Amino acid sequence: MQVEIWHNPACGTSRNALALIRHVGIEPVVVDYLRDPPDVARLRQAIADAGLGVRDAIRSKQPEYLALGLDDPGMPDDALLAAMVATPVLINRPFVFTPLGVRLCRPESAMVLDVLPPCDKPFAKEDGEVVIDAAGQRVR
């Protein structure tokens, strides 16, 4: 199965999603989206394929969000998308793409399991929180 993740290694949620992908036996294509951001068309498609609105995929806690005036509720999606591509730290992460679908795995990295093959091996996140228990059942 081909899997791609838009990854930020400094982000715990992103690291845990990547670890879950690898845990099910898949080595994904890892895209450092901060260094190599998607173009507007790809970002728009990723957001749509994940079933989200543009505002759902923007990191509103970043200082750049307010600095660029992106909190204006009247700002059109095209302007938000352009800002996200120009300042990729504004793109929420991690986005994961598989043949089973696209997910923005936030706020919970375990959302990646929705688009991966089943796994019955136990898994705990880097903070020790159990995601797949000893019986192979998803906890969250």
How far apart are alpha carbons 80 and 104 in whole angstroms? 17
How far apart are alpha carbons 99 and 54 in whole angstroms? 22
Using the CB atoms, write b or e for 44-58: b if 16+ within 10 Å.
bebbeebebebeebb
At which residue do the structure tokens 């009247």 appear? 74
Q: Is 11 a catalytic residue?
A: yes
Catalytic residue among 11, 26, 52, 79: 11
Catalytic sites, residue numbers: 11
